[in-house]
Amino acid sequence: MAESADGGQIAPRGALYGYAERLSSLGHGITVEVGAPARTFDLRVDPTTSALLAVEDVLGLPLPAASRFASGDGRTVVWLGPDEWLVIDPAMSPSLEQSLRDAVGSHGAVVEQSGQRLSLVVSGDAAGLLAKGTGLDLRGDGFGPGVALQGLLAQAVVVFLARSENARTVELLVRTSFARYVADWLRDAASDPLAYPAQAEG
């Protein structure tokens, strides 16, 4: 913690400080939870080399294929490109970064990006709410558990993680600079009576 001018402690505040209560219940059975802080790493590794297996051994997870993510032991690994993955470690293991660097060797790179993104977990009719701001089909068969899609939500670039069947729970990985914009958009979209006309009429 940092110290204030009078010597007191200043607690760190995230980009969505004070938003948790406002997002906890948006009506119509929809809730949004701000994910726990995590260390994140951009991982680049040549998938044709033995370094890929070494990285998987460190993570305890297989590196997911295109448009997929994998979770285990509290970590999540998201496919971003043919040789690029996002590693999310809420446990903030102090040894993970160096272990990944050792595993990658000369066949890639590991760059810490902690603080660049944060997580918002939308539960309830997540697909119905998010459809107001994205052209991605989150209700289709192509968005089952384990699928990771990148696209726009309103005017923000977001990674959508399918955390359940029928897109009832969708985790959004949002750039920190867009966090309040996305949080306010979710609140506004959920409050629009035209989004849920049946409930509004009732």
Query: What does the domain layout of the chain look like in residue ranges?
Result: 16-36+116-193, 39-112
Q: Is the pTM of this model over 0.85?
A: yes
Using 70 as the pLDDT threshold, list the residues of the chain that sit under it.
Answer: 1-8, 10-12, 193-202
Tell me, what's the pLDDT at 22? 81
Alpha-carbon 28 to chain mean position:
23
The highest-level CATH class for domain 39-112 is alpha beta
Task: Choose the CATH number for 16-36+116-193 among 3.90.1150.10, 3.30.1360.120, 3.10.250.10, 3.40.50.300.
Answer: 3.30.1360.120
Which residue type occupies 190?
A
Residues 6+ apart with CB under 8 A from 3: 9, 10
pLDDT (0 to 100) of residue 73 = 85
pLDDT of amino acid 63: 97
